[in-house]
Structure 1
Amino acid sequence: MLPGDLRYRRGVRALTLAVAAGCAAAFPALSAPATAAPPEITCGWSPRINADTFNVAFPDTFANYWMTLVPAAPGAGVTLRGEFPHARYISFVTYSALGEATDVVTDTSITPDAGSVNPFPDGADRQAANRSYTVRVVAGERPANPEPNTLYARPANGVIPVLYRVYRPDAGRDAMGGTGLPRTTVHTAGGGSYDLADCGTSTSASDPHGVFSQGRSRLGGRAVPPPHAPQWAGREGGGLFPNPDNKYLATLVDTGRTAVVRGRLPDTPDTYPGTARMDAAQLRYWSMCTGDGPSTSTIGCLVDDELPVDANGEYTIVVSAPEQRPDPACGVAWLPANSGETLLIMRNMLPSGDFPNAVQGADPENPEPVLGPYYPRITYPSGSADADGVCPAIR
């Protein structure tokens, strides 16, 4: 979800405790067979997590997140059975007690159930009718030869946090891409099993284009502060529930100043209209967001397939206070700035093998040489907006 080598331990704890409160107050010692969920376990997946619900760890507004806490008693395990959603990307990621990713199962690596189709590999049938899959979550170290469709994790206080992500659902689909959440089945050490219901309403709609309230609570200091624009630095995600399939660039925009960001937009699959096949592309997904560093909250995001570009495939993004927002008729994009320092975050997801200009291959301290024209260059206009090639603000 997040961008940087940032250690907001209380934010991680707040997210985990919020899920625990909504899902399960405590997991029992799962040592005997069971046919129904014990009363201590009330549900499986949390309600949807996003900037409009629980705005921490810099969520991308065009993605949706659900967490579950998997019991990690010896011999216990969990099976997740679902249908591949109509979306750009999904994954399952396990985390440590500090919110650090420990394992990931990415959509393209999931073998579908017999008779079903995985719609995510290049050229796959995105509209296949049969699209079911099964993923297991196992407590323990990932072996040298892991089982297919299996997530491994070291238990943290008796549970394993698992995040399920759905990026950019197709037009007309809900946040889950039209196929619901995976069914969660707990298997006990004694050979029993039981299904968990979801924790609450998970189909709530959200506006990914919204400007979200700025959190004011401070969750700790930055371990490694990002540079100030116009420089960017690479970020791995630190302890804020990162997505291992993403790499990030981050920088801070000067307080109270309008910034202009320009760069070339990588090619990404055209999935949003509900296309028939998964296109091969330079990146699976690209976005740029603004955030509030102290609270790790997202302010607003832009997504690749909506970003206006010129004849050379280059975009212009204005980062400013709402009163300085450029007129949409000008053909430039806008991101809302914070009233204090604004953190800019650029995501690159799953670059193709023949795309050398992704963040994944760049020096975190000096990413510009590898990114080349895809490096987001930032300027601070002086004088009139027209004189600097940026449209006038809406007054």
Structure 2
Amino acid sequence: MLPSLLTAAVGLAASAVSVPASAQLLGGGLLSSPGRLTVGCPFVTNTAKERNTGFLDDNAAYGIAQIPLSIPDGASIRIEGLYSRVRYFSLQSYDGARAGNYIDAIADARIVPTAGGALNPNVALVPAAPYGADYTVKLRYADPPANPAFREANTLYVGAPDNRTSPTRVAKQIIYRIYLPNPGADAFGSTPIPRLFYSGPTGQIAFTNTPDRRQCDRIETASQTTRTVNPAILPKRDIIFEPITRAQDRVLYPNGDSNYLRAASSQNFGDLVVIRTLPFRTPPVPPLLRSDGEPDVRYASICHYGLGTSEVASCVADRDAVAQADGYEVHAISTTSGRPRTATRAAGVNWQPWGDTRSELIVIRQILARPGFSGDYLRAINNPNLPLALTLGSYAPEITYCRRAVFDAYSASGSRALMNACRTEFASNRR
């Protein structure tokens, strides 16, 4: 089983272990009471700094909106927004606070601005639309077409209309995701968060002026008081990365543009965790230009989270990581007191401090891979029973526990020699 998420937690998602407080609050009558939810709730923001729950990436920001399970014939909902100063943004739809609730996603690379333009087939590229250009995305109450070629332009599918409610299904959700703002920009790329508009028999209503304000306040209050836990994953001595499969694990609030590898770790087994991985080519910060070809993925990061809390301890985004002379990155995670003296950027090591729990979930996040890229994590997700070395080749990350003395002794010998030494010593002297 994977970690569970609350309604407002939209980073790394997992199978539901507990019912969110928001769903408990709303279930059983709120929507059937006078002044029921008829329009919806505007986006409310969520970041690791504001709430820090739900396996968030600390380089990301989120907006969460509520829309009805159905709308009258002839009514419609649309989203109006601006291209932000960020690496990636998307709009995604979900059906209630329940496992397997993902419906659809439309990333920035698949949105045509109002002024027009052509879409690049390499979704790993940042869209060519200028910052501040406006766009409109309409919501369609239907399931997304099985064949992407039949999708309507600038449309986010929100599932078929249905008024049947339950404790975990009282509204649909729209999630606005932002990853890695440009230097100097705020958490949302220095542009306003998108706005939703409802057009119905009585005219147009902006969600910011929704008559459902009291219900929206209750949803927000409930989401802030909920904590998610993950009692199901137990770290093992033989630590490995494995793919997170949405369909098999019935994940809750997944990012439809992301794929993940995870490894459960514990301080009980070693002084530190060491990761060796080949970095991806990612887009540079505009207006810089690359000379080594198009990017392979839009965004990547290595994060670690407390098991039992879902709080992010820290993340290293692709642009902040350093690589060694052989082209590989070495990441080390340890307590501050147990940090090896050679675990420094100057020595080519990306060190992260252990969080507040002895057991943590380590996650590599990959967003929007270039079509045909050999390191696309979807290859591993589609073949979860095969070793990563077969599905990802040289892009398969390695992970092991290590003693601090061994790390310091071999850190100057190169990433391969370091990993081999840590593995060998750990195999001989397991705790």
Q: TM-score range by the shorter chain?
A: 0.7 to 0.9
Is 1:349 the counterpart of 2:367? The answer is yes
Q: Greater shift after overlay, 330-339 or 59-68?
A: 330-339
- Percent of residue pairs identical: 24
Q: What are the Cα deviations for residues 237-265 of structure 1, in whole angstroms up to 9, with x where unaligned? A: 54331101111110111324311111111
Q: How many residues align?
A: 358
Tell me which of 317, 330, 335 is aligned to 2:352.
Answer: 335
Is 1:252 the equivalent of 2:264? yes
Deviation at 1:83, TM superposition (A): 0.9
- For residue 206 of structure 2, the aligned residue among 169, 188, 195 is 195
5+ long unaligned stretches in structure 2:
1-9, 214-224, 414-431
How far off is 1:216 after superposition? 12
C-alpha separation in 2, matches of 1:305 and 1:84:
21
Q: Offset of 1:172 from its aligned partner?
A: 1.1
Specify the alignment match of 2:68 in structure 1. 71
Greater alpha carbon shift after TM alignment, 102-111 vs 349-358: 349-358
The more displaced of 295-304 and 229-238 is 229-238
Given the alignment of the two structures, is residue 386 of structure 1 paired with residue 386 of structure 2, yes or no?
no
Equivalent residues in 2 for 1:1-395, closer than 5 Å: 1-3=10-12, 5-10=14-19, 13-14=20-21, 28=36, 30=38, 44-46=42-44, 48-75=45-72, 76-97=75-96, 98=98, 100-114=101-115, 126=128, 128=130, 131-143=133-145, 145-154=150-159, 157-188=169-200, 190-197=201-208, 219=229, 221-222=231-232, 230-237=239-246, 238-256=250-268, 257=270, 258-271=272-285, 274-275=287-288, 280-325=294-339, 326-338=343-355, 339-362=357-380, 363-365=383-385, 366-382=387-403, 384=405, 385-389=407-411
Deviations 1:59-92 (A, max 9, x none): 1111111100012333243211111112111111
The C-alpha deviation readout for 1:264-312, integer Å capped at 9, x for no partner, is 11111113x5547997211111111001122222111110011000233
* Cα distance in structure 2, aligned partners of 1:19 and 1:84: 34
> More helix by proportion, 1 or 2?
2
Where 2:49 maps in the other structure, the secondary structure is coil
Q: Name the aligned partner's letter for residue 374 of structure 2.
A: P
Contact 2:53/2:228 (8 A) holds in 1 = no
Name the structure 2 match of 1:203: none
Aligned-residue CA RMSD in angstroms?
3.6
Q: Specify the code of the residue in structure 2 equivalent to 1:351.
A: A
CA deviations on 1:118-168 (whole Å, 9 max, x unpaired) are 799677775726611101123333356332211222356452101000111
Residues 18 and 305 of structure 1: is their aligned pair in 2 closer, same or farther, counting only changes over 3 Å? farther
Residue 16 of structure 1: how far off its partner (Å): 6.4
Q: Which amino acid aligns with 1:284?
A: R
Query: What is the match of residue 220 of structure 2?
Result: none
Q: Using the alignment, how far apart are the partners of 2:408 and 2:349 within structure 1?
A: 13
Q: Look up the match of 1:207.
A: none
Report the AA paired with residue 323 of structure 1: S
Q: Shift of the alpha carbon at 1:221?
A: 3.4
Paired residues of 1:359 and 1:367 also in contact (CA < 8 A): no
Instruction: Check 1:367–1:198 CA distance in 2 against 1; reply closer, same or farther (3 A cut).
Output: farther
Specify whether residues 290 and 121 from structure 1 end up closer, same or farther in structure 2 by C-alpha distance, changes over 3 A only: closer
- Pair 1:181–1:323, CA change in 2 (3 A): same
* 2:88/2:126 contact within 8 Å kept: no
SS of the equivalent of 2:402 reads coil
For 2:401, give the aligned amino acid. Y
Per the TM alignment, residue 18 of structure 1 is displaced from its structure 2 partner at its CA by 9.6
Deviates more, 1:277-286 or 1:243-252: 277-286
CA contact (8 A) 1:283 1:352 kept: yes
- 1:14 Cα deviation from its structure 2 partner: 4.0
Supply the distance in 1 between the matched residues of 2:127 and 2:103 (Cα, whole angstroms).
Answer: 31
C-alpha distance in 2 between matches for 1:285 and 1:19: 35
Change beyond 3 A, Cα 1:172–1:118: farther
Of residues 313-322 and 358-367 in structure 1, the stretch that sits farther from structure 2 once superposed is: 358-367
C-alpha contact (below 8 Å) 1:105/1:151 kept by paired residues: yes
Residue pair 1:15, 1:56 contacting (<8 A) in 2 also: no
Counterpart contact for 1:88–1:169, Cα < 8 Å: yes
CA shift digits 1:77-111 (9 cap, x unpaired): 32111111121111111112215311111111112
Q: Which moves more between the two structures, 280-289 or 251-260?
A: 251-260
Contact 2:306 2:361 in 1 (8 A): yes
